[in-house]
Amino acid sequence: MENFQYYAPTKVVFGKGTEDQTGQLVAEQGCRKVLVHYGSGSVVRSGLLERIGRSLDEAGIAYVSLGGVVPNPRLSLVYEGIELCKKEKVDLILAVGGGSVIDSAKAIGYGVANGGDVWDFYEKKRKAEGCLPIGVVLTIAAAGSEMSDSSVITNEDGWLKRGYSSNYARAKFAVMDPDITMTLPKYQTASGCVDIMMHTMERYFNRSDNMEMTDGISEHLIRTVMKNAKILMRKPDDYNARAEVMWAASLSHNGLTGCGTDGGDWASHQLEHELGGMFDVAHGAGIAAVWGSWARYVIDARAERFAQFAVNVMGVTPEGTDMETGMKGIEAMEEFFRALDMPVSIRDMGIELREEQMRELAEKCSHFGKRTIGCIRKLDKEDMYRIYKNARG
Amino acid sequence: MENFQYYAPTKVVFGKGTEDQTGQLVAEQGCRKVLVHYGSGSVVRSGLLERIGRSLDEAGIAYVSLGGVVPNPRLSLVYEGIELCKKEKVDLILAVGGGSVIDSAKAIGYGVANGGDVWDFYEKKRKAEGCLPIGVVLTIAAAGSEMSDSSVITNEDGWLKRGYSSNYARAKFAVMDPDITMTLPKYQTASGCVDIMMHTMERYFNRSDNMEMTDGISEHLIRTVMKNAKILMRKPDDYNARAEVMWAASLSHNGLTGCGTDGGDWASHQLEHELGGMFDVAHGAGIAAVWGSWARYVIDARAERFAQFAVNVMGVTPEGTDMETGMKGIEAMEEFFRALDMPVSIRDMGIELREEQMRELAEKCSHFGKRTIGCIRKLDKEDMYRIYKNARG
């Protein structure tokens, strides 16, 4: 078992009608002027922004707004948000949305608190020494960014997708009302569920002598998301299923499922990040498309872990070698993805990858040959190319 | 599923040698003068206090010390600590110990930050509006006070044991090195394990339409503690088993296992608190002694939950009615207690309860007839008396 740190200071306020507490939660932070940051007009049309505005008004909190965040959130809007916050003397950024909006809010927070070019942090040229306080009203259960330390931003100049993590950006509070997620389309719900599962699976596939406490939580979390994702495909307005998935999303990425491990593999995430940067695919769907290819490429390096996953998570009856049992687990997971209408190849997303595109993805994912990814097996540029190729379909 | 709040802001620094980071963790809080609060001389003899002192010195942190905390920590020492902190202008209290030391530190923290008589909070006469920052170096896996919001203090004037909970007292950081717990005697280890299990069991036995995510974590946590407690009876210096138990202790009482529930029953804890106030028994042992009596007294009010517990935690094969399955689960838990040399009756602790003592315990536990306890079944003074009587043995 590895030494570890666990730090998840976000105050979670979970359940029906909790968005009406937003103003009071901002006031508790001692803040007075908020940037309400959001994505598309859906939060306007649903009346959510209006309710939040009312809650802020009642608590005597002033605010300005900045919408327009897109999936794979853009650096240009981050720059705009930083200028707006400075001009308006904003002291808390309220992200009303899912992972993209929260990640964009974190980037704005870094920019305001540290000065200089915020992209430096994502390029690992500097370390942040603070972040404007972040609050969240969550509208999509997926990224877990509401409790995580991470933020992923896409720089349109070269379409580079890069992440930066620090405890400074952990949200002060997160309002989670499952009712808000009831109207999400099936594809977004399914893609979110894959993303949630993957945050735990990335940690689960590691090279550590693991902690039972953590393994059991992880295995239960993945099973719970799978079960409730299937319910939501049939019954998208099932409150309890929405709530299970929403809470699992936060627990899956707040660090809990990595305690006592080396941190996990994360290669599937890195491989998807480049796909997302190039094609603007939904993050969860993109991971589903590459995961099987990754898993088959690395399984022999830790077959016993894949076998444990197959038995404890996928319900496979162990038979033959760990390799054989593990392979059955991979197949079962792909079957589950299909049941959710998720892709199991890049072609399934309607993308016909050309040879030079696969080379370009591998170039970018390896930071032009300067890094390897993964821990189950360390993957270099050539490995990445092969995994993309096997995932092409 | 119930609406809930989850707030566990403590930074956990877990693993071998982590106590050497204590000074740096204090400095991170922006604090300069520490009260090192501890219990018996064992932390002196083991050299732990010296190591911590060195770490504080290296970080440029000044400190004063106050030892002498006993199990069921006393109000008189809390008063002494408050005066010392004021006189020495202490800005962080470092609890080096287990639940008793941490609870005492929290009480001192309330006293310094709020003024007036600190006992008022425990008598529910006032609400705290702050607490001096608390840091922890944990030496016993049991109470979970290192991440919890609660503190239990015994007032020698009448031997009243009372709890007070607020987020202000949640520790800023908790250093957890399983190596430190290696030398704990068997009885304390076993009693600690029961305490850990009970913090989740109290929440598990509730009247809610439960959350699957929470139920699975709870069931896994209890099973993990049971398995590793048995290992520690044979092999007290098994690092991994110590680590599993230590981490489970924190997760069991930081709120995680109550998410989505009504908060749970807690009657067994209340019943034990009075026993502990009267006889100074080890907390976990005291709960083991009354739990079976409580469970049999209330099972008919929620037999289906006891049946779920029996099957999912105790591995009972369901047969007959929920009552029958549930009763088998209670018996299996008592069998487990016995395997740990824990009491399953008050007599097992060497206490021959007299009739008037049982009446007095029920008087005190019901706050002289002014409150009921429990939620599975609301228990009044007469119920409490009967549960003590059935637990007498």
DSSP string of A347-363, one letter each residue: GGGT----HHHHHHHHH
B161 vs B233: CA distance, rounded Å: 30
A132-158: average pLDDT = 95
Is the confidence at residue A210, as pLDDT, over 90?
A: no
Q: Are A184 and A140 in contact (CB under 8 A)?
A: yes
Give how far A141 is from chain B: nearest CA, Å.
Answer: 14
Contacts of A146 in chain B (CB under 8 A): none
Contacts of A11 in chain B (CB under 8 A): 5-7, 9
A187: Cβ–Cβ under 8 A, 6 or more apart, which residues?
A282, A285, A341
Query: A156-181 burial, b if ≥16 CB within 10 A, otherwise e?
Result: eeebbbbbbebebbbbbbbbbbbebb
3-state secondary structure of A376: coil
Question: What confidence tens digit (pLDDT) does each residue in B296-348 have?
Answer: 999 999 999 999 999 999 999 999 999 999 999 999 999 999 999 999 999 99
* Sign, Cα dihedral of B354, B357, B361, B362: positive
Contacts of A248 in chain B (CB under 8 A): 213
Q: Are A166 and A81 in contact (CB under 8 A)?
A: no
Alpha-carbon torsion, ordered A107, A112, A115, A119, to 10 deg:
10
How far is the CA of B359 from the CAs of B156, B288, B346, B362, B386, in angstroms? 20, 20, 15, 5, 9
Is the confidence at residue A155, as pLDDT, over 90?
A: yes
Q: State the pLDDT confidence band at A276, using cuts at 50, 70 and 90.
A: confident
Question: What confidence tens digit (pLDDT) does each residue in B29-42 have?
Answer: 999 999 999 998 89
B104-132: average pLDDT = 97
A352: Cβ–Cβ under 8 A, 6 or more apart, which residues?
none
A337 vs A272: CA distance, rounded Å: 16
Which among A223, A224, A243 is the nearest to B1, CB-wise?
A243
Token pair belonging to B135: 């840091």
3-state secondary structure of A229: helix
Contact A217 B212 (CB under 8 A): no
Contacts of B15 in chain A (CB under 8 A): 1-4
Contacts of A243 in chain B (CB under 8 A): 1, 211, 260
Q: Identify the residue among A5, A18, A138, A254 best suited for mutation to test binding to B, counting B beta carbons within 10 A and taking the highest.
A: A5
A194-216: average pLDDT = 96
Contact A259 B248 (CB under 8 A): no
Is the confidence at residue B187, as pLDDT, over 90?
A: yes
Please enumerate residues of A whose Cβ is less than 8 A from a Cβ of B: 1-18, 209, 211-213, 216-217, 220-221, 223-224, 227-228, 239-240, 243-244, 247-248, 251, 259-260
A123 vs B172: CA distance, rounded Å: 31
B195 burial via Cβ count (<10 Å: 0-12, 13-18, 19+): buried
Q: State residue B338's pLDDT score.
A: 98
Q: Are A306 and A299 in contact (CB under 8 A)?
A: yes
Q: Identify the residue among A10, A13, A14 best suited for mutation to test binding to B, counting B beta carbons within 10 A and taking the highest.
A: A14
Closest residue in A to B4 (Cα) is A14
B245 vs B221: CA distance, rounded Å: 9
Q: Are A252 and A200 in contact (CB under 8 A)?
A: yes
A328 vs A319: CA distance, rounded Å: 10
Q: State residue A159's pLDDT score.
A: 82
Q: State the pLDDT confidence band at A277, using cuts at 50, 70 and 90.
A: confident
Is the confidence at residue B159, as pLDDT, over 90?
A: no
Question: What confidence tens digit (pLDDT) does each residue in A320-347 have?
Answer: 999 999 999 999 999 999 999 999 999 9
Q: Mean pLDDT score of chain B, rounded to an integer? A: 96
Q: Identify the residue among A25, A247, A252 best suited for mutation to test binding to B, counting B beta carbons within 10 A and taking the highest.
A: A247
Q: State residue B236's pLDDT score.
A: 97
Interhelix angle B283-298/B381-392, nearest 10 degrees: 110
Contact B12 A7 (CB under 8 A): yes
Q: Are A170 and A9 in contact (CB under 8 A)?
A: yes
Nearest of B96, B81, B97, B176 to residue B131 by alpha carbon: B81
Is the confidence at residue B160, as pLDDT, over 90?
A: no
Which among B8, B17, B240 is the nearest to A8, CB-wise?
B8
Give how far B362 is from chain A: nearest CA, Å.
Answer: 37
3-state secondary structure of B187: helix
A145 versus B279: the higher-pLDDT residue is A145
Half-sphere exposure in the Cβ direction for B210 (13 Å, CA) = 21
Is the confidence at residue B193, as pLDDT, over 90?
A: yes
Q: How many Å from the N-terminal Cα to the C-terminal Cα in chain B?
A: 38
Q: State residue A41's pLDDT score.
A: 84
Token pair belonging to B254: 């930081």
N residues, chain A: 393
Q: State residue B158's pLDDT score.
A: 84
Q: State the pLDDT confidence band at A72, using cuts at 50, 70 and 90.
A: confident
Contacts of A222 in chain B (CB under 8 A): none
Helical segments of A59-125, H only = 75-88, 99-114, 119-122
Q: State residue B72's pLDDT score.
A: 86
Pairing of β B160-165 and β B150-155: antiparallel
Question: What confidence tens digit (pLDDT) does each residue in B207-253 have?
Answer: 998 899 999 999 999 999 999 999 999 999 999 999 999 999 999 99
A279 burial via Cβ count (<10 Å: 0-12, 13-18, 19+): middle
List, in sequence order, every residue forming a beta bridge with B136; answer none if it has no partner: B95, B174
B336 vs B316: CA distance, rounded Å: 13
Is the confidence at residue B87, as pLDDT, over 90?
A: yes
Q: Mean pLDDT score of chain A, rounded to an integer? A: 96
Give how far B161 is from chain A: nearest CA, Å.
Answer: 30
DSSP string of B257-287, one letter each residue: GGTTSS----HHHHHHHHHHHHH---HHHHH
How far is the CA of B102 from the CAs of B6, B143, B146, B380, in angstroms? 21, 9, 7, 31
Which among A3, A7, A221 is the nearest to B11, CB-wise?
A7
Q: Tell me, what amino acid is at B193?
A: C
Q: State the pLDDT confidence band at A242, using cuts at 50, 70 and 90.
A: very high
Q: State residue A342's pLDDT score.
A: 98
How far is the CA of A390 from the CAs of A296, A374, A383, in angstroms? 9, 17, 11
Contacts of A129 in chain B (CB under 8 A): none
Contact B213 A227 (CB under 8 A): no
Dihedral pair phi/psi, residue A199, rounded to 5°? -60, -35
Token pair belonging to B59: 């970080």
* Sign, Cα dihedral of B290, B296, B301, B307: positive
Q: Are A323 and A300 in contact (CB under 8 A)?
A: yes
B40 vs B185: CA distance, rounded Å: 14
Rg of chain A (C-alpha set): 20
Nearest of A143, A147, A158 to residue A191 by alpha carbon: A143
3-state secondary structure of B161: strand
Q: Tell me, what amino acid is at B323?
A: M
Measured in whole angstroms, the distance separating CA B382 from the mean position of its chain's CA atoms is 26
Q: Which of A60-69, B38-47, B321-330 bottoms out in mean pLDDT, i.e. has the lowest?
A: B38-47
Q: A–B: how many Cβ contacts below 8 A? A: 106
Which among B11, B227, B260 is the nearest to A5, CB-wise?
B11
Token pair belonging to A66: 């900045």
Q: State the pLDDT confidence band at B94, using cuts at 50, 70 and 90.
A: very high
Nearest of A45, A41, A120 to residue A78 by alpha carbon: A120
Is the confidence at residue B278, as pLDDT, over 90?
A: no
Question: What confidence tens digit (pLDDT) does each residue in A246-260 have?
Answer: 999 999 999 999 999
Which among B6, B13, B217 is the nearest to A217, CB-wise?
B217
Give how far A131 is from chain B: nearest CA, Å.
Answer: 16
Contacts of B6 in chain A (CB under 8 A): 11-12, 14
Contacts of B259 in chain A (CB under 8 A): 14, 247
Query: B166-180 burial, b if ≥16 CB within 10 A, otherwise e?
Result: bebbbbbbbbbbbeb
Nearest of A268, A139, A261, A128 to residue A197 by alpha carbon: A268
Contacts of A21 in chain B (CB under 8 A): none
Give how far A168 is from chain B: nearest CA, Å.
Answer: 13
Q: State residue A174's pLDDT score.
A: 98
Is the confidence at residue A280, as pLDDT, over 90?
A: no
Contact A243 B251 (CB under 8 A): no
Contacts of A3 in chain B (CB under 8 A): 14-18
